Amino acid sequence: MALLLWWLSGREKYALLAPAVPFVSLAGVFSAVLTCITGMLLSGGGEYDSSTVNWHMWMGIATTMVSAWLYSQIRSGQARRQIAYTVAGLLVLVSVTGHLGGSLTHGSDYLSSPFKEEGSGAGGVHVRRVAIADVQKALVYGEVIEPILADKCYGCHGAQKQKGKLRMDQPATLMTGGKHGVAIVAGRSDSSLLVKRLLLPKEDDHHMAPKEKPQLTKEEIALLSWWIDQGASFTARVGALAQPASVKPILSALQSSAAGGAAAASSGDDDEEAQAALMHNADIPGQPVEAAGAADLAALRAKGVLAEPVAVGSNYLAVNCVNARAVGDAFIDQLKPLRRQLVSLKLTRTAVTDAGLEKLAGFDALRRLDLDYTAVTDKGMGHLKGLEHLAILNLVGTNITGVGVSALKGLTGLKRVYLFRSKVDHAQWAGLQAGLKGVVLDSGGYEVPTLATDTQLVKVPGK
Amino acid sequence: MTQKELNDQRLVREAGEAIARQYTRRHFLRESAMGLGGLAMAALWGCHTGGPGTPQVVFDPAHPMMPKLPHFAGKAKSVIYLHMAGAPSQLELFDYKPELMKMDGQDCPQSLLAGKRFAFIRGVPKMMGPQAKFAQHGESRAWVSEHMPHLATIVDEISFLKAVTTDQFNHAPAQLLMHTGNARLGRPSIGSWVTYGLGSENQDLPGFVVLSSGGRTPDAGKSVWGSGFLPSVYQGVQCRSEGDPVLFLNDPAGMGRDLRKASIDAINKVNQESYEEYGDPEILSRISQYEMAYRMQTSVPEVMNISDEPAAVHEMYGSNPGKGSLANNILLARKLVEKGVRFVQIFDWGWDSHGTDSNLAIDVGFINKCRQVDKPMTALILDLKQRGLLDETLVIWGGEFGRTPMMENREGKPNPFKGRDHHTEAFTIWMAGGGIKKGAVYGETDEIGYSAISGKAEPFDVQATILHQLGFDHRQLTYDFQGRPFRLTDVKGHVIKEIIA
């Protein structure tokens, strides 16, 4: 503040500020002295890396001295040029001291870590989680436990800082413990202070990790407890240790082809797993399939047909002719290159006929076929024989009769057939349903009978 | 100088002025100072990366409504949202509270009033028991009152959320919260997010259509179907079921369709040249919208014309061609979805049953409103089902908040008619189709229907569920604005998995 005021007061416009400068400079000296005193007290706690503390301390003392010198220069009315040198030197000292102080408090990569990619731990060392090919062969400490500690603990209990005098990044010091005692009691996770603090409620002052820092997940806590119960070995492999049922799924989740996958699996909680399960759509085949040819898709799109994957990252396709109703049987030939990817085909109100249906042989992936308001007939239903995964068939507004419906018997995957406004004789309905057990035949024609009350207006009583 | 030369000179001067006007000192200063610095900062802080693996929506201004890919294969392909503006009373419809009947006429206990703010209730109101008879229906044994006899027959197709809560007790903020995820103006609505993320199937019709009935626009105004900070092409297009389907779409008298096409082509040619010169993507949107409007001139009247539907359909919905009503709008919703429109939003006004006049009385006007909506919405579900559309169409029905178990006493005096005040702590919404469970009930309120005791859902959760059924992870469908990624659910919302099949 003093430096700024001093610099400004050199300009004529701000000359009025000149009297303030000595006072503010003196205040600066006092605050520098106070800071040194409090810094000494804090460093006495011994929780910080001593070399950084040392540098910070001496830089701080130098800053205080130079600021006192600056004050004396201003008071004695020295030339601006001389003062300017002192000011520059003080600026440098303050920046360096401040930076060191920040490193002490927040970790040496506090400023740069947001610019690095994700995965940087909370300051200090971070050990990248390596993909574990076979979790049973993995080193329990080196590959399973240490990554957790590195990610969530080393920032405050590692090389740079040792909060509570606990240093966790070396096996010896990890087992020795810190200010509050031993952190790990081998074989007894319930007596281990490390686990106790992890399990404290988040609002508790002693809860680890501190609430503003990234928390450990349930899986990580379970792994740590299990490791401690098994004797907290630094050399054993996972396979050599007993694995209770609660820990097995977590361990196998660590085994994955990508480090990212491992991190995601072990850092997710129940909600994530449930979400993943929710996103699963049973209507889409589970096994992956190769992508359809780009030229084939482009040819379809050029006609105005919508031919899109069902989702990001999926190669299964849904084709919709809502914008290209002029397509006919020849169009199905164009779909042949997409045989293995086509999951849903909407031919509503197009010019497709039975001849086109004949060409659908071999479309194994097809799950839903919409033929509503087309000119298909019972003969065409016979052509659908080979589509063993076809689940939903929409025949609304077609000339299909009971004969056509019976022809669908061979379709083992069939679940629902929509027959509203078709030519199926309702008298045959029971017979047809019996012939197609497990298939819902929806005849439509639902009625919402008009009740007298529907059109009656309730009026104010007495009027 | 000849006249021609004079004209040419003037044209040249005008062109020069037009160009000069485009680029003032203000533009230059703004761009150079903030532009360079902004670029540097953005690169430094890794803006617009959204983290690894976040699927980014690609906005193509020339084809804004082309179908885009969801994050995963969702069950629903379209949405019909029936919003009863004013807030229907859940205590007279779906939330049966016999305990409340026992307290009918008694003074409201202080515990329910302490520390709470009500829109209009002042002092100590009286409790009011349910003003309708309830019965359980279907295999799901859902409680439905006598005011919805038609819906009672299809309870096994729908799922109820009985413990929806909100924190807004006024119409406009509550409607905005329900539809845009924030009680203040300025955010895009659900339909805008959906069409932004998913496009639409039918390229001749708007992707997001709004139909309004009841005599008034909802209190939140047109912002409740607005596009907020998303490209304006994703705003809801308001269609009307009476008169011109879309305002200002038809050609003026004396202008034929060919002439219109020629003039649009000419306009677009000029726009194209502008685009080549300035590179503003909004110009591409404008070009595509002119062409879309031209296509809509034929496609919209065709789909909005309900007079060619068979009599049986009109009988089913209770619709009446030519007269403009909620039933007509609901029938239109089915037709639009059948044609491949992505999001149809229906607003019906008149559900604000305060009891201040007969139209807003629980025992008069409210029952009439129920009768207006009961048959058409039941018909909608059954009609979608029989056409094979219900699996892929998500239908939602609800208001913006609920109504109090107490009778409203505005200014401390009893109202002329029976009514209830706005209530934020519990109300009911139902959802159907598009992968929603059949016949489920999620959420419970206490024995007088005052607060939600389990299975609470917030508007964000409803929004997250809608996006989920369409195939989106609501946390990942984002848009960068004002320096951070925004999403419909903003910082909250989780998918209500209990009602998902």
pLDDT digits (tens, 9 = 90+) for B447-492: 999 999 999 999 999 999 999 999 999 999 999 998 889 999 989 9
Q: Hey, what amino acid is at A306? A: L
Give the per-residue pLDDT at A4. Answer: 79
Distance CA B374, CA B351 (A): 13
Residue to substitute from A458, A459, A463, interface B, most B β-carbons within 10 A? A458
Residues on chain A touching B471 (C-beta within 8 angstroms): 311
B388–A392 CB contact, under 8 Å = yes
Does residue B403 surpass a pLDDT of 80?
A: yes
Does residue A265 surpass a pLDDT of 90?
A: no
Question: Residue A139 in 3-state DSSP?
Answer: strand
Give the per-residue pLDDT at B421. Answer: 95
Contacts of B22 (CB under 8 A, 6+ apart): B278
Does residue A156 surpass a pLDDT of 60?
A: yes
Closest CB from A274, A416, A448 relative to B375: A448
Give the per-residue pLDDT at A261. Answer: 39
Q: Which of residues 291-310 of A touch B (CB under 8 A)?
A: 304, 306, 308-310
Question: Residue A346 in 3-state DSSP?
Answer: strand
Residues on chain A touching B52 (C-beta within 8 angstroms): 117-118, 260
List the end-to-end C-alpha distance of chain B, in Å, as a whole number: 81
Pick from B68, B64, B70: nearest CA to B232: B64
Does residue A124 surpass a pLDDT of 70?
A: no
A311–B73 CB contact, under 8 Å = yes
Question: Residue A321 in 3-state DSSP?
Answer: coil
Give the per-residue pLDDT at A256. Answer: 56
Distance CA B187, CA B446 (A): 34
Give the per-residue pLDDT at A126. Answer: 41
- Minimal Cα distance from A281: which residue of B? B73
A454–B318 CB contact, under 8 Å = yes
Q: How far is B415 from chain A (nearest CA, A)?
A: 14
Q: Which residues of B336-345 are buried (b: 16+ CB within 10 A; e: fewer)?
A: bbbbbbbbbb
Distance CA A217, CA A152 (A): 10
| Chain B contact for A116 (CB, 8 A cutoff) | no
Closest CB from B201, B367, B471 relative to A322: B201
A455–B371 CB contact, under 8 Å = yes
B386–A455 CB contact, under 8 Å = no
Task: Give CA A458 to chain center in angstroms.
Answer: 54
Q: Which residues of B107-123 are buried (b: 16+ CB within 10 A; e: fewer)?
A: ebeeebbeeeebbbbee
Q: Which of residues 361-420 of A touch B (CB under 8 A)?
A: 370, 372, 392, 394, 396, 416, 418, 420
Pick from A280, A254, A255, A283: nearest CA to A268: A254
Residues on chain A touching B468 (C-beta within 8 angstroms): 278-279
User: Which residue do the tokens 């409740």 mark?
Assistant: B224
Tokens of B345: 């939003």
> What integer best gives the mean pLDDT of chain A?
83
Residue to substitute from B65, B317, B385, B386, interface A, most A β-carbons within 10 A? B386
Does residue A112 surpass a pLDDT of 60?
A: yes
Instruction: Label residue A262 by pLDDT band (50, 70, 90).
Output: very low
Pick from A368, A377, A355: nearest CA to A422: A377
Give the per-residue pLDDT at A117. Answer: 46
User: Which residue do the tokens 């903020």 mark?
Assistant: B173
Pick from B500, B466, B484, B483: nearest CA to B193: B466
Query: Residues B192-197: what's their mean pLDDT?
Result: 96
Contacts of A12 (CB under 8 A, 6+ apart): none
Radius of gyration of chain A (CA): 38
Give the per-residue pLDDT at A268. Answer: 42
Does residue B401 surpass a pLDDT of 50?
A: yes
Q: Hey, what amino acid is at A383? A: H
Q: Hey, what amino acid is at B56? A: Q
Question: Residue A202 in 3-state DSSP?
Answer: coil
Query: Residues A177-192: what's their mean pLDDT?
Result: 86
Residues on chain B touching A344 (C-beta within 8 angstroms): none
Contacts of B312 (CB under 8 A, 6+ apart): none
Give the per-residue pLDDT at A448. Answer: 92
Give the per-residue pLDDT at B45. Answer: 60
Instruction: Label residue A319 by pLDDT band (50, 70, 90).
Output: very high
Closest CB from A311, A418, A454 relative to B72: A311
Give the per-residue pLDDT at A358. Answer: 92
Q: How far is B83 from chain A (nearest CA, A)?
A: 20
Does residue A50 surpass a pLDDT of 80?
A: no
Most confident of the ranges A215-224, B60-69, B116-125, B341-350: B341-350
| CA distances in angstroms from A414 to A368, A399, A439, A441, B276, listed in the order given | 10, 20, 6, 10, 53
Q: Which of residues 417-436 of A touch B (CB under 8 A)?
A: 418, 420
- Minimal Cα distance from B52: which residue of A? A118
Instruction: Label residue A259 by pLDDT band (50, 70, 90).
Output: very low
pLDDT digits (tens, 9 = 90+) for A282-317: 888 888 888 888 999 999 999 999 999 999 888 999
Distance CA B163, CA B9 (A): 72
Does residue A211 surpass a pLDDT of 70?
A: yes
Does residue A433 surpass a pLDDT of 80?
A: yes
Helices (H), B279-344: 281-304, 311-317, 326-338
Helix (H) or strand (E) holding A9: helix A2-9
B368–A284 CB contact, under 8 Å = no
Does residue B37 surpass a pLDDT of 80?
A: no
Pick from A184, A207, A122, A114: nearest CA to A156: A122
Q: How far is A356 from chain B (nearest CA, A)?
A: 22
Distance CA B445, CA B45 (A): 47
| Residue B32 DSSP label | I
> What integer best gives the mean pLDDT of chain B?
90
Query: Residues B417-429: what's their mean pLDDT?
Result: 95
Closest CB from A274, A420, A451 relative to B386: A420
Does residue B413 surpass a pLDDT of 60?
A: yes
| Residue B103 DSSP label | T
| Chain B contact for A51 (CB, 8 A cutoff) | no
Contact between B92 and B351 under an 8 Å Cβ cutoff? The reply is no
Give the per-residue pLDDT at B42. Answer: 64
A420–B72 CB contact, under 8 Å = no
Q: Hey, what amino acid is at A63? A: T
Give the per-residue pLDDT at A46. Answer: 60
Give the per-residue pLDDT at B456. Answer: 94
A281–B74 CB contact, under 8 Å = yes
Give the per-residue pLDDT at A267. Answer: 41
Distance CA A144, CA A130 (A): 9
Contact between B435 and B406 under an 8 Å Cβ cutoff? The reply is no
Distance CA A164, CA A149 (A): 16
How far is it between the farthest Cα atoms of chain A?
A: 115
Q: How far is B69 from chain A (nearest CA, A)?
A: 5
Pick from A68, A70, A41, A39: nearest CA to A56: A39
A370–B388 CB contact, under 8 Å = yes
B67–A460 CB contact, under 8 Å = no
Question: Residue B4 in 3-state DSSP?
Answer: helix
pLDDT digits (tens, 9 = 90+) for B88-101: 999 999 999 999 99
Q: How far is A29 from chain B (nearest CA, A)?
A: 36
Give the per-residue pLDDT at B102. Answer: 93
Pick from B292, B366, B290, B343: nearest CA to B91: B366
| CA distances in angstroms from A55 to A26, A376, B498, listed in the order given | 25, 87, 59
Does residue A14 surpass a pLDDT of 80?
A: no
Q: Hey, what amino acid is at B341? A: V
B371–A312 CB contact, under 8 Å = no
Pairwise pLDDT comparison (A43 vs B431), residue with the higher score = B431
Give the per-residue pLDDT at A118. Answer: 44
Give the per-residue pLDDT at A264. Answer: 40
Does residue A18 surpass a pLDDT of 90?
A: no
Q: How far is B7 from chain A (nearest CA, A)?
A: 45
| Chain B contact for A112 (CB, 8 A cutoff) | no
Give the per-residue pLDDT at A200. Answer: 86
Q: Hey, what amino acid is at B246? A: V
Does residue A160 surpass a pLDDT of 60?
A: yes
Question: Residue A3 in 3-state DSSP?
Answer: helix
| CA distances in angstroms from B426 to B126, B161, B165, B339, B446, listed in the order given | 19, 10, 5, 36, 9
Burial of B17 (0-12, 13-18, 19+ CB in 10 A): exposed
A308–B340 CB contact, under 8 Å = no
Strand ranges inside B391-450, DSSP E: 393-398, 402-407, 420-423, 427-432, 441-442, 444-445
Contacts of A48 (CB under 8 A, 6+ apart): A104, A160, A161, A162
| CA distances in angstroms from A286 to A281, A289, A307, B73, listed in the order given | 9, 9, 20, 12
Q: How far is A178 from chain B (nearest CA, A)?
A: 38
Distance CA B363, CA A138 (A): 72
Closest CB from A311, A372, A460 relative to B364: A460
Distance CA A178, CA A45 (A): 12
Query: Residues B162-166: what's their mean pLDDT?
Result: 96
Residues on chain A touching B473 (C-beta within 8 angstroms): 275, 279
Give the per-residue pLDDT at A120. Answer: 40
pLDDT digits (tens, 9 = 90+) for A359-380: 998 898 999 999 999 999 999 9
Give the per-residue pLDDT at A111. Answer: 64
